[in-house]
Amino acid sequence: MSDAVIKVENLTRRFGDFVAVDHVNFEVSAGEVVGYLGPNGSGKTTTIRMLLGLLEPSDGNATVLGFDAFKQSEEVRARAGYMSQKFAIYDDLTALENLTFYGGVYGITDKARITRTLELVGLRGHDSTLTRSLSAGWRQRLALGIALVHEPKLLFLDEPTSGVDPTARRAFWDLIYELAESGVTILVTTHYMDEAEYCERVGIMRDGKLLAMDTPSNLKKNIIAGDVWEVYADPLEVGLTVLPDVEGVLSVSLAGDHLRTIVERGKKKEDLLRELKRGNVNVRDVVVGEPTLEDVFISLAR
């Protein structure tokens, strides 16, 4: 047997003629932080709902923590935590009261355990702060605390850091990595590329299909068919019409003050400069850019 915490085989869900999730296969091991990336409507939430046993698969099956996700959904839910973007936190209760309330829902009355959770998410000292006066970053931590109060082995996070600034976001992720190191398995669904970058492996969903799943670095290396170059040139619009016709240029897009291009590996910078000059584009600079998961997504989608 593998130590897979989540094992999904040919998982499929249809709504009438619409195939929301289409023969998806993947495995997640204990302590992994895995991202599930895709736009709204790509089948992310439907997958999660099947993993939590809230929805019956039309085909295939999902095993979560060794249990059949649908037939033994009670077992799964007792051991899994779920933090949603739109999680209901009571604004007029304090941080501690919110945790105590949700602990009670799971049958946890041990005060020490509630305090421990508060400490884990770094909210000690804010025990008696009314939730409505917490910043977005702190609320996010409270929502995480609520998802963790019953000490789950598996944690689902739905766009956990959308709307919080980078500083608060990385503090949140440091917490997630600590949880993972202590053995908690984490599945993050998101449509933000930024957020997916924090995951050890990322699966890319589109139209119900899992198009790829690998580490961010491998996805960038294997799926983007070239190198990223940033072209600083005047006028940009002319560059935008000239560049796509240059041999070896795979894609061109406008990015504010430069053109972002993906160019076949091995293509020489001089060739690009020559063609641009011929098209009466004045090039100020061409620098190597970093590939992003957005490039990966677009390469897969087009």
Binding residues for another protein (CB under 8 A): 33, 35, 38-42, 135-137, 162-168, 170, 173-174, 177, 181, 191-194, 196-202, 206, 215-217, 232, 236-237, 253-258, 287-290, 292, 294, 297-298, 301-302
Q: How far is the CB of 24 from another protein (least distance, A)?
A: 18
Angle between helices 111-120 and 95-105 (to 10 degrees): 120
Of 60 and 137, nearer to another protein (C-beta) is 137
Dist CA 298 CA 166 (whole Å): 24
Please report which helix (H) or strand (E) contains residue 21, including its range.
Answer: strand 18-29
Of 93 and 193, nearer to another protein (C-beta) is 193
Q: How far is the CB of 299 from another protein (least distance, A)?
A: 11
Q: How far is the CB of 9 from another protein (least distance, A)?
A: 25
Both structure tokens of 173? 């992720």
Of 188, 92, 186, the closest CA to residue 148 belongs to 186
Of 64 and 195, nearer to another protein (C-beta) is 195
Q: What are phi and psi of 17, to 5 degrees?
A: -85, -15
Q: How far is the CB of 25 from another protein (least distance, A)?
A: 21
DSSP state of 129: S
> Is residue 160 within 8 Å of residue 188, measured between CB atoms?
yes
> Is residue 230 within 8 Å of residue 255, measured between CB atoms?
yes
Of 92 and 290, nearer to another protein (C-beta) is 290
Largest CA distance in the chain: 75
Of 108 and 193, nearer to another protein (C-beta) is 193
Q: How far is the CB of 199 from another protein (least distance, A)?
A: 4
